[in-house]
Amino acid sequence: MSRVATLLFPLFLLASVGCEHDPPAGPTSGTGGTGTSTGGDDCQTDDDCEDPDNPVCEAGTNTCVPCTSDSECPDPDYPECVNGSCAQACQSDAKDPNDTSGAASAIVSDASGLNLWLCPGTDDEDWFEFSISNSHFISILTNNDPYDGDFDVTLFNDANVEIDSSSQNFYGKKVPRAVEAVHTLITPDTYWIRVRATDGQGGIPYRLVLQLFKEG
């Protein structure tokens, strides 16, 4: 083994060992995800069932299974059984209906933000529109409870070209996150913000904050 190889070999070993670990487990996939998880087989109570698709610990089998009625959803944060998941009741917001770019709501830079809802299946998208005449740094932030489901935020220009998106993969798998963010520099144009539900049941409450900072 050459001197260089002798020096590098231990580093290679270290790198190899570092790659042997499995990826960390991601967060749950939101209420009513399309996964095929069958839940755990060793639950004692519903508290042991962390998969939103299988929130109920079935007596006898001690297996996590889908809910079948609201009475199986005692958590006041997720009180309704919707398609097997304990979820929040779907609600519209003050900007609905704004389900297409043609029906987009006007939005302005405002650090206080908007409180909104998405409802997979009935309110899959919320669209917003604004125009600028100078270049700006744009910050779009959303906050939500990832247990409710997942959505992505995408920014388009007036030519319907995607400028940026909050969609991200975690070890190759899309996962819901408590914060979705778009940060970039944009030039004078009209822009469209699309918030699109990608997973979940019931309603997904979220907060949207758009801020524009003039360049220079």
| In the complex, least distance from residue 152 CB atom to Ca ion, rounded to whole angstroms | 4
Q: How many residues bind Ca ion (CB under 5 A)?
A: 9
If one asks whether residue 199 binds Ca ion (CB under 5 A), the answer comes out as no
If one asks whether residue 46 binds Ca ion (CB under 5 A), the answer comes out as no
| In the complex, least distance from residue 150 CB atom to Ca ion, rounded to whole angstroms | 5
Binding mask 105-124 toward Ca ion (x if CB under 5 A, else -) reads: ------------x-----x-
**E strand or H helix at 5:** helix 3-19
Nearest in space to 176 (alpha carbons), one of 200, 205, 195, 209? 200
Q: Would you state the structure tokens that stand for residue 203, as one six-digit string?
A: 């309603």
Q: Would you state the structure tokens that stand for residue 196, as one six-digit string?
A: 């699109």
Torsion angles phi and psi, residue 152, rounded to 5: -130, 150
| In the complex, least distance from residue 121 CB atom to Ca ion, rounded to whole angstroms | 12
Nearest in space to 168 (alpha carbons), one of 151, 143, 146? 151
Whether 116 contacts 126, CB under 8 Å = yes
Smaller CB separation from Ca ion, 46 or 123: 123
User: Segment 146-175, which members bind Ca ion (CB under 5 A)?
Assistant: 150, 152
Binding site for Ca ion (CB under 5 A): 93, 96, 98-99, 117, 123, 126, 150, 152
